Chain A
């Protein structure tokens, strides 16, 4: 094992059954157990296999375009009048977001396991596009489940997936959004276990998904750490990333967990405001429960039914969150804060005008929190904010919201 997959750090969660303290685990129907076991064995075997890692690294470099830059946003930092803000430019990856780091990894795993069919769930469509992309490249059949509501509001990404040869299945059950797409993908997997690999897009789901997706996304934090040392000669004081399921955040945080002087801020979507109940902030305003195969913080009512969520950003519109975030919250290692739709839009415009970078609405939540945090810090301090995706996909949403027509 190289130091590239530094699971030898002091922090060694999860345990062998996928527990992060009381969170995580494997909570699935018996029909899925053999598939989970098979996947876990393959993941354990290949994540430390030098040949697998070499192929993954080559793909990340030549196909995804890594390393992504760490960019010192000098003008914006000056304007905010506090800490120096560095942006980890995941928006510059192939397909425009961090999602591809994980789909490249899982697709290689699928290939090694001899699976010929890929399924995925998607909310905003970024993970669906990233999955359809790697499936096209490897010549694998690809089916993407997407809530009917999301299909309607993310038409551009639906078209991209279709161009890439994926079949997009609109999900009409429940609230017709991301969580229902996940339910439907799980049902597909149960039915087609023999030839199908399920690429989950975030650090949720049953073990090994939270750990596996983290390991594939941790390239973000490993690069950022090295780049920050190169550019500034020291580690950052704070990390900021948006949290829906939490894959871009855990990718940035994970390699820093042992560096206890580095503060971590996960930014949840407060939608219309936490007090309105119309939000997607289970860590800030939810409670522990079990959904989609793991125990974590959820948005649920007193009967344990899952509450419908709201965020301007489809990628954060999910009632659960990765179990490792639940653990980092309870242990106090990371701080979880929230940003409303309106504040996220301020972050969106600020970066666009100040730095000439149009961010995704998801990432805009992290930017908006950075705007609050930076002025409270000294000018010689450093924040790394994860710019997890680019904003092209959100033009329509923002135009509608702001009453703009061309």
Chain B
């Protein structure tokens, strides 16, 4: 069983929901990332999505775009992110780690080399924003041979037919993007999410994480009540942006927010 499947099974057995923070690797500087990953686990993160900086993050809003730009200023690209993942794994053998990013870095590395590299780094899942299931066959096969999950996004306007396709091709979990638009945008409509989750669950038994619009403990709780996992990204990265000269303060605020979410979710 993959680390992700094991984690969701364990959570289910104890009646809990996954707290899944997203941060961009290398933001605001490369040395910040691995210690932050460990601290987030200590604060209650069940799974971590680690963003691979990309020069052209088409599906991201301004907060995550700027995180990518800060990381790229330190030349943090896919190869560096893989080495961070490897370092994290040295002292944490249990927390699933998912790389989230865009396809071009993987294309340039080559699918085979990429699959080998993520296996070597003991990364558990890969979420490639601009790789829909129709184009994902080669990549998924290489990852699956190495027991690495390919995670797909679902959108509010995704049809039942496409959900079934994600179910066939994807594994680990599905990530439901609960808003139309880019990351960090707008407000959450719980009733909409609930309706959509019904459609999703009718077409797949994969766990569903919900993200986009999770800003605080309250929204995290609302989502946790209806989904299998809560993804929080822009709200965390905003803390880095709000403290440009004091990364330690940013980290304290990130950890405090995650802890408050953990408490709310488990309550």
Contacts and interface: CB of A to CB of B under 8 A. Distances in A.
Contact of A29 (B55, B56, B80, B130): B130
B170 to A, nearest CB: 11
Nearest to A172: B62
B158 A33 contact: yes
Interface in B54-68: 54-59, 61-62, 65
Interface string A264-281: 000000000000000000
A403 to B, nearest CB: 34
Given A190-B180, A303-B79, A305-B54, A30 B132 contact: yes
Contacts of B152: 30
B199 interface: no
Interface string B223-249: 000000000000000000000000000
A28 B56 contact: no
Nearest to A31: B155
A30 B154 CA distance: 6
Interface residues of B, number: 45
Contacts of A295: 107
Given A31-B177, A288-B107, A306 B132 contact: no
A303 B154 contact: no
Contact of B158 (A34, A173, A187, A298): A34
Interface in B29-88: 53-59, 61-62, 65, 69, 72, 75, 77-80
B65 A27 contact: no
Contact of A304 (B61, B105, B159, B177): B105
A190 B182 contact: yes
Contact of B55 (A26, A30, A293, A306): A306
A300 interface: yes
A363 B9 CA distance: 62
B106 interface: yes
Best-surrounded residue of B53, B77, B155 (most CB of chain A within 10 A): B155
Contacts of A31: 59, 153, 155-157, 177, 180-181
B104 interface: yes
Given A187-B182, A304-B77, A26 B107 contact: no
A29 B59 contact: yes
Contacts of B79: 302-303
B71 to A, nearest CB: 11
Nearest to B61: A187
Interface string A101-137: 0000000000000000000000000000000000000
Interface of B: 53-59, 61-62, 65, 69, 72, 75, 77-80, 102-109, 129-132, 134-135, 152-159, 162, 177, 180-182, 185
Interface of A: 17, 25-31, 33-34, 173-174, 179-180, 183, 186-187, 190-191, 193, 287-293, 295, 298, 300-306
